[in-house]
Structure 1
Amino acid sequence: MSASAFSLETSAPDTLAVTGALSFTTAAAVLEATTAELTRGGQTTLDLAGVTHADSAGLACLLAVLASARSQGRTLTVSNVPAGLHALAQVSGVDQLV
């Protein structure tokens, strides 16, 4: 998988897993695909265990996915946030959201 690749899969009941890069090069595609998948499915957890790289665009994407779910009246839990992404969220003051 290249640094600009990602994939989504329903890894467990009610869970959507993101694998690969969550970065500037993938953020728009990840946002579109994840939002579409969450709209179709009944997932309540977004699993980031497979994320290999994340940057500020990836964090913005994650926040947009959470906002989209909230606007639909859904609660979405994020699990297995990579340490680097969590640190970026802390520095940005949004760690309580992820």
Structure 2
Amino acid sequence: MLNLTAPGAAGLSGRIDMASSGAVLAPLASLAAQGPLRLDLSGIEAADSAALALLLEAHRVSAAAGHRLTLSGVPAGLSSLASLYNLEPLISSGE
């Protein structure tokens, strides 16, 4: 689930996996395109590779719009998954 917490700030929570990431993709991409965005991931309870794909797309949209996407509160499981896929720079941006 995607929650707007303040202007330029949002959080992801719950399970971010293949079943749920599709519903989050468009709203997250829209936020990333509007301006710099700080995304808090500390509310994520479980994540799979679809969560990484979601974050990659958010980074792509943000960069294409000339904005910065920063991540905070990256759960250990998501960090391990990013390491497995050699995507540490994606997860460490903003930490």
Q: Into which bin does the TM-score normalised by the smaller protein fall?
A: 0.7 to 0.9
Identity %: 35
What is the Cα deviation at residue 73 of structure 1? 0.6
Equivalent in the alignment of 1:23: 17
- Contact 1:13–1:43 (8 Å) recurs in 2: no
| Unaligned residue ranges in structure 2 (runs of 5+) | none
Unaligned segments of structure 1, at least 5 residues: 1-5
Normalising by structure 1, report the TM-score: 0.82
**Are 1:59 and 2:73 matched, yes or no?**
no
Partner of 1:89: 82
Query: What is the number of residues matched between the two proteins?
Result: 91
Cα-Cα RMSD:
1.5
Equivalent pair of 1:16/1:43 in contact (CA under 8 Å): no
Q: Distance in 2 between matches of 1:10 and 1:43?
A: 13
- Say which of 24, 28, 35 aligns to 1:34: 28
**In 1, are the aligned partners of 2:32 and 2:59 still within 8 Å (CA)?**
no
TM-score by length of 2: 0.85
Change (3 A) 1:43 1:17: farther
Instruction: Tell me which residue corresponds to 1:3.
Output: none
**1:55 to partner: Cα distance:** 0.1
Give the partner amino acid of 2:11. A
| Offset of residue 29 of structure 1 | 1.5
